[in-house]
Structure 1
Amino acid sequence: MAIVSLAEQKAHMRVDFNDDDALIQAQIDAAQAHLEQLLGYEIEEEFETVPNDLVEAIMQLAASWYENREATSTDAPRETPIGMWDVVRERRNYTF
């Protein structure tokens, strides 16, 4: 289950129409799965109350994927939203 609701994500992105709801939900789910893979655990199993930094990381990642859906762009390429790696570094359950 996603720790970020569709309504929360749409408010975060200031999306006020329903045409992209399925796409946005898929990106929320994918962002959470990606973050959990990086962290080495399932967020909902690790925390009774999900920390705000993890919620924010998912929201930023899903928003970034929504805004940058094209394989090519005239903008400079970006790997992940600013700050996401900081959250991963502080919250992961493994070291290299």
Structure 2
Amino acid sequence: MTALLDLKAQLNIIDTNEADDDLLTGMVGDALDHTGRAIGAEAQLSYDELPGGLRRAVLMLAAHFYENREAVLVGINASELPLGFWDLISPHRKWVF
């Protein structure tokens, strides 16, 4: 599957138009960039070459970007889920002291 199809499955999106596909593809790219920085990757990440845990982290982050398009949540209590993004990327981080 491609990143776009995986993200649509993550979001339970059945039918979208081309503009939505472009938006979702951009969000996958942003999530890949963020994940790459978070793990200390030296090169641009390729979704197709990622191990399962990092793929899931990218999808979770891209889905978050899609569901929360503003910088602030109003009238909602939000909390980080256990076994979420940071837990998934932790084994892949390059630690530098």
How high is the TM-score relative to the length of structure 2? 0.75
1:59 positional shift: 0.3
Matches within 5 A, 1:1-96: 5-16=3-14, 17-18=16-17, 19-41=19-41, 42=43, 43-44=45-46, 49-72=49-72, 73-78=74-79, 83-96=84-97
For structure 2, the 5+ residue unaligned runs are none
How high is the TM-score relative to the length of structure 1? 0.76
Q: Which amino acid aligns with 2:37?
A: Q
- Alpha carbon RMSD of aligned pairs, Å? 2.5
Contact 1:60 1:81 in 2 (8 A): no
Q: Which amino acid aligns with 1:28?
A: V
CA distance in 2, matches of 1:52, 1:91: 11
For structure 1, the 5+ residue unaligned runs are none
Query: Which region of structure 1 is more displaced relative to structure 2, 77-86 or 62-71?
Result: 77-86
Corresponding pairs, count: 90
CA distance in 2, matches of 1:6, 1:25: 6
After TM superposition, the runs of 4+ consecutive aligned structure 1 residues lying more than 4 A away are 77-82
CA distance in 2, matches of 1:11, 1:89: 24
